[in-house]
């Protein structure tokens, strides 16, 4: 009999910035605990890197939008 699998986490791009940051914090806490096997640690590291990239993209998009809005205000 196979063991039930955990549901897969949502892809990082589908998460809000706040959701991605919360997931990243949980991963860091888990990784720092030292109670997980190496293969799981590496998988969590990979997920964390994807989350960081998604957060950076979301922040970059927000910054660009703010710059666009600021430029629109100056030209009015």
pLDDT in tens, 16-67: 999 999 999 999 999 999 899 999 999 999 999 999 999 999 999 999 999 9
Q: Is residue 22 part of a domain?
A: yes
Q: pTM for the complete prediction? A: 0.76
What torsion, rounded to 10 degrees, do the Cα atoms 29, 32, 37, 40 define? 50
Domain count, the chain: 1
Of 7 and 62, which is predicted with more confidence?
62
pLDDT for the residue numbered 76? 53
Q: Is residue 24 part of a domain?
A: yes
Q: Is residue 2 part of a domain?
A: no
Q: How far apart are CA 31 and CA 63, in angstroms?
A: 30
What CATH number has the domain bearing residue 68? 1.10.287
User: Cα–Cα distances in Å, from 67 out to 42, 54, 62, 64, 73?
Assistant: 37, 20, 9, 5, 10
| Tokens standing for residue 19 | 């959701």
Question: Containing domain of residue 39, as a range?
Answer: 13-75
Of 21, 23, 42, residue with least CA distance to 31? 42
């Amino acid at each position: 009999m196979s063991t039930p699998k955990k549901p897969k986490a949502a892809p990082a791009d589908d998460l809000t910035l706040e959701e991605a940051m919360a997931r990243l914090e949980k991963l860091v806490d888990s990784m720092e605990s030292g109670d997980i096997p190496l293969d799981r640690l590496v998988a969590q590291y990979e997920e964390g890197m994807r989350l960081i990239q998604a957060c950076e993209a979301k922040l970059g998009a927000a910054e660009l939008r703010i710059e666009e809005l600021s430029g629109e205000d100056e030209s009015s």
